[in-house]
Structure 1
Amino acid sequence: MRITGHHPLWRIAAAVLGGYAFTWGFIALGMAGAFALGMSFHDAEHLTAIIGFLIYLVLFLWAFAARSLARVWAVTAGGALVMAGAASLIQHQLT
């Protein structure tokens, strides 16, 4: 792998922004799903926030360890879009 001048910046962006987007999608989906299954809102909120912190940490570290930067962006951005869309569908079903 050849490292160019901007390569570390793209890794940092993938770790911070991609990890945040993926974690946000996970928390939104987890909260909506847990609430739809009968868990109280605040319990679902706290549970998914705790798990989300761990997911963000794993994604942050993986963004620097992964060989393919494109794969990191695909997983984080794609996962964020899918989970946010699924969370939105669940929330619309609840209202």
Structure 2
Amino acid sequence: MSFTLQVENIKCGGCANTIRKRLLELDGVAEVNVTVESGTVEVVADEALRGSVVETLAKSGYPESGSVEGLASAKAKAVSFVSCAIGRMDGAK
């Protein structure tokens, strides 16, 4: 089974690396495919994990599209910059 989420703040491969790493740490997630250009995240896992995936993405600065606005949106963008930088460093190893 798989499901696809439209998320905000995906800018580059560093973002994609962070998303993949954090979601693969969740029990039951078998595979994660991130498409930077469209801002989509495909997760191969049971649909029952959708809430945990959405929560993990939001904590990492990549909230589901349309789920945050105002100050929460600005905070998510700031968190995503840090997550992106970490993803770039992890990808360079």
TM-score, structure 2 normalization: 0.41
Higher helix share: 1
What's the TM-score, normalizing by structure 1?
0.40
More strand by share: 2
**RCO higher in 1 or 2 (8 Å CA, sep ≥ 6)?**
1
